[in-house]
Chains A and B, each alone.
Chain A
Amino acid sequence: EDKVVQSPLSLVVHEGDTVTLNCSYEVTNFRSLLWYKQEKKAPTFLFMLTSSGIEKKSGRLSSILDKKELFSILNITATQTGDSAVYLCAPNYGNNRLAFGKGNQVVVIP
């Protein structure tokens, strides 16, 4: 059985703050870990991480994976109101299926 735990489940920050989102996982036959941003409907792809210790960056977002300790972090710097969303962590495992956590709900207030 898969297990994905994200923390914090919910947080409220002010514009300009930095946010750190955590994801721990337990899956068999791990392949990669994906981060998605979900606003109204479809999750939109942010990062795919396959190797430990290599930070991936996209603008103000960055993410890193630790395959030994089985966790990943997503950082958002200089937050904007448009960053308000649920951030989903999803290890890709086994026969290429995703297991999702409950998500980190981020609210950025002006």
Chain B
Amino acid sequence: EPEVTQTPSHQVTQMGQEVILRCVPISNHLYFYWYRQILGQKVEFLVSFYNNEISEKSEIFDDQFSVERPDGSNFTLKIRSTKLEDSAMYFCASRADGVGYTFGSGTRLTVV
């Protein structure tokens, strides 16, 4: 079964530092997403990406965040100047037309 792969599985960073979370979507999928889940809370939409540009972003996805598809396989989420409240599980997801999203196993980001 094809998988969405995320690295690292766990990242600890100091407040104010920049982090890059990496994702390899399923190869024939065209739509890519980032979601996050703060401990004990709902999964929240961050951003969707299609055809090398952002399709939609939530109110959470401010100038601190950016996404990129630097090559044909990777999809990254960069968080600049991390804050304590950025600590969460970050999920990457991808999908093809007409099928459900496939989520990666997540990156647990801890900001200290």
Contacts and interface: CB of A to CB of B under 8 A. Distances in A.
Say what secondary structure dominates the interface of chain B. strand
B55 A95 contact: yes
Interface of B: 31, 33, 35, 41-45, 48, 55-56, 58, 89, 91, 95, 99-106
Interface of A: 34, 36, 41-45, 47-48, 88, 90, 94-103
Contacts of B101: 34, 45, 98
B56 A42 contact: no
Contacts of B35: 98
Contact of A100 (B44, B55, B104, B105): B44
Contacts of A47: 100
A89 B41 CA distance: 14
B83 to A, nearest CB: 23
A101 B103 contact: no
Contact of B43 (A44, A45, A94, A100): A100
20 contacts: A34-B101, A41-B89, A41-B105, A42-B106, A43-B103, A44-B103, A45-B101, A45-B102, A48-B100, A90-B43, A95-B48, A95-B55, A96-B48, A97-B33, A98-B33, A98-B35, A98-B43, A98-B45, A100-B43, A102-B41
